[in-house]
Structure 1
């Protein structure tokens, strides 16, 4: 998009704009959720050599993020042949829209409970030398790390929305290579389309014994 859809709009209107942008997109929230959860399950049904992931092999967050990233991109593009393909060129996003580049999608996956990060360059304005447009649609996924307490980590959060380079805040240190997002952006520009159900623990009622005289 040549102009920011949020340009000149107060924060109070951002959520409605995000909902409108999502409604215009060929990928539906339900489809994204189904694909992400299915891809996560597929990782745990996979082997490296003779060893199952999640049993004999427990990869670190970066590898799990990579595997999830690749599966989600491949599965979603298979569902929309002729419209989407997996981005392979330096100027293509993770899920590249063949018919309209504005509808291409970046995927960010993180083992943080609710945050995502990007390379510091995402916070810089786009220039003619840029290899990839930094503004556009994002699928943001948060997942659990492997833990001794749990046999299988789970997907915690899936969000879908529209981000721009101005949303990203680079690390203050010149040596810092990451960029983060402020609370208002998480709240209004990334819509929650899935959240891990919370298990409500019901405490057993204490029955007081009555003494019979």
Structure 2
């Protein structure tokens, strides 16, 4: 996929990102609304016949909380817009699939980091000849940073969402760890700042 930022200087990245967000079929205000709704409802839901509550009886690790967001956000949009949006169904698809035009499909990233964005090391690796094709690493991204559970906090308090960002990331924006055993990829500060914009805009 050709980068929409090709030939555009860093100083103009933010305006290009706003243009890309403006072209997207989902309203950024609705994206923000859905994330806040889903996050709240995670803590309002009862589990099992005993009515266990997350944040009261259970305090999942960040990976589990990220999983809930990763699954529930696409479910909410697929229910709001059946036949238009749906969850991924295979390794070739983004997390939230736009059926009329895959260009607008969205990859979702979550992190308990205050504001950084991470991917696994594969995000920074070129596909070798003969390797199985996976989803395109370029395209629209929704990034959510949230707080971990704090055992010192009151049971009536739930972790906050620190930051919600939406925008476009290119495959070449991902930088793998220098160590041969490093399992993480991250974005440089200019990409974080100008290609992912805070919601609400």
TM-score by length of 2: 0.91
1:166 aligns with 2:165: no
Runs (5+) with no aligned partner, structure 2: none
Aligned counterpart for 1:149 among listed residues 153, 158, 177: 153
Write out aligned runs for 1:20-39 (5 A). 20-39=19-38
Q: More displaced, 123-132 or 31-40?
A: 123-132
Write out aligned runs for 1:5-154 (5 A). 5-49=4-48, 50=50, 51-125=52-126, 129-147=132-150, 148-150=152-154, 151-154=157-160
Counterparts of 1:66 and 1:111, CA distance in 2: 12
Runs (5+) with no aligned partner, structure 1: 196-213
Query: Following superposition, which runs of at least 4 residues in structure 1 exceed 4 angstroms of deviation?
Result: none
Q: 2:185 corresponds to which residue? A: 179
How far off its partner does 1:177 sit?
Answer: 1.0
TM-score by length of 1: 0.86
Counterparts of 1:108 and 1:10, CA distance in 2: 26
Number of residue pairs aligned between Structure 1 and Structure 2: 194
8 Å Cα contact 2:110-2:143 kept in structure 1: yes
8 Å Cα contact 1:73-1:86 kept in structure 2: yes
Counterparts of 1:77 and 1:19, CA distance in 2: 25
8 Å Cα contact 1:157-1:194 kept in structure 2: no
How far off its partner does 1:118 sit?
Answer: 0.3
- SS of residue paired to 2:199: strand
- SS of residue paired to 1:52: coil
